[in-house]
Structure 1
């Protein structure tokens, strides 16, 4: 069997749908004999009778009716192939790799990615969480295109960054926790109860307040443990929102809570890797949407 081509498939589909070679010829601006010849050549290539010509008009055979949806699918795939190739030729990246620290991955990132999928349907996205140090290293080594991380004073020369603002961190516990029963607990009182810490090794000391501490690499696990009364935990509002809405967790009203209970958020990218149209859009939208999200902080009571 010779290799099929797109024109043969389109002619075959049109002939099945219109039920007349002459109608296909008119729509395609060809002679009827050319359409008939192409169908015959396709039949010879496949070794099948695709049309019954015994009547006034050719009618698709059972084999043709079975092949018709496959032909439509093949035409669609070839069309998408060409569209994707055109997009890549115009500067759109085939792949965008995004890493983030769990503490700075609120719903806004998924909002951005949903908009991105509509704007750049041919660019694949690979997103994953990583520790602070790993995220920076992956950007510096060119293994990722963007990273959302907590702010630090210095980055390697291979890394460019933009500050997205401050993210408010909530202090949470289950409603039955002793701290939740206090109208206003001091930090010194919170330190008397077990704290659940989910942070990278370099940041654990910053977040640790209580000498009774459990550490976890997963913030969602720490939140679930807090729901079970194991301890209290710090988390950004967006990740805590479903727990707050369900009533499994409540925000603790700690007095003397200093600015340490907030996170600066930076967007990182490679200083040496050129950005295509998709990456430039992503960086611009991150500054716009995340900037609106992080500053000013969200008031929980107005957002649930």
Structure 2
């Protein structure tokens, strides 16, 4: 009967399949070989299928055994995850961390921090929300996330800010775009005949303000990937994080524009911040993520 199946039988089955023999499985599990054979025999009787062909020198998985092995692996993974999550609950570890992320923050740095978090808290799920400008703070205030990474410094007594890094941005256009053909400072009059590709701000906090918008003719897009694609296609020009366009600048697909309203070489700098609710202290995994993120920043000092 299937109700009699035990996790131990399944682990024995998996160990025999992975090690290649009953003897090797017995050594790995620190049991006598007869106990391994007995466990497999009982499992086969309960499942009413032969899991191993024992006619040769070494036991070989039968077609039925190979099929059921995949199910057993999946089940044991879920059981281990359940145990890890239950252990985490006992220690007050979060089930999930949601971070509202401004898309201009360098994703490689985020990835390094998440790699550390995954090793330390493998049972904690991680979720990101793409939230430009004030949308990160809106998500935080409305309880839609645990942490926010933003490129603006809205002051709110309910939110604690921590400076992360400055992100360099540059005004660029495709190499064949008319604006790319001059090295003279580009003022409003020269930009007026060309479309500026700008990011849409969905936030009520900052949606009425334009950041870095200097051209009267503009197209709005929802994300930097679309923005970059349109600029590369020659539709218009715009400002993008340098970390996102290093290869295109190096290969000559994109050219910096000397926009007069920006700094030298059309560059602007945005200070980014890590934010969380004052009334909701970070749990163990959230604290570990914060420390890993700070440690992953350029020229970061070890977190003490």
Bin the TM-score by the shorter chain.
0.7 to 0.9
Summarize deviations over 1:173-230 as a string: whole Å, max 9, x none: 1222333222232434553342222242636533221222222222322222222322
Do the aligned partners of 1:99 and 1:147 also contact (CA within 8 Å) in 2? yes
Cα distance in 1 for partners of 2:10, 2:165 equals: 55
Q: Which residue of 2 aligns with 1:218?
A: 223
Instruction: Verify the 8 A CA contact 1:96 1:126 in the aligned structure 2.
Output: yes
Corresponding residue number in structure 2 for 1:287: 294
Residue 210 of structure 2: aligned partner: 205
User: Which one of the candidate residues 232, 251, 261 is aligned to 1:227?
Assistant: 232
> Radius of gyration: which is bigger?
1
Higher helix residue share: 1
Report how many aligned residue pairs link the two structures: 289
The equivalent of 1:126 in structure 2 is 127
**Unaligned segments of structure 1, at least 5 residues:** 294-304
| Aligned-residue CA RMSD (Å) | 3.9
Distance in 1 between the 2:261 and 2:43 partners?
81
State the TM-score, normalized to the length of structure 1: 0.75
- Are 2:101 and 2:136, in contact at CA under 8 Å, matched by a contact in 1? yes
The separation in 2 between residues aligned to 1:126 and 1:217, in whole angstroms, is 19
CA distance in 2, matches of 1:43, 1:252: 71
In the alignment, structure 2 segments of 5+ residues that lack a partner are none
1:172 match: secondary structure: strand
Match of 1:100 in 2: 101
Deviation of 1:38 after TM superposition, in Å, equals 5.2
Show the 5 A alignment for 1:123-272. 123-155=124-156, 157-188=157-188, 190-194=190-194, 195-200=196-201, 202=207, 204-255=209-260, 257-258=262-263, 261-272=268-279
Question: Which whole-Å CA distance do the structure 1 matches of 2:187 and 2:273 have between them?
Answer: 28
TM-superposed CA distance for 1:97, in Å, is 0.8
Conserved in 1, the CA contact under 8 Å of 2:92 and 2:283? yes
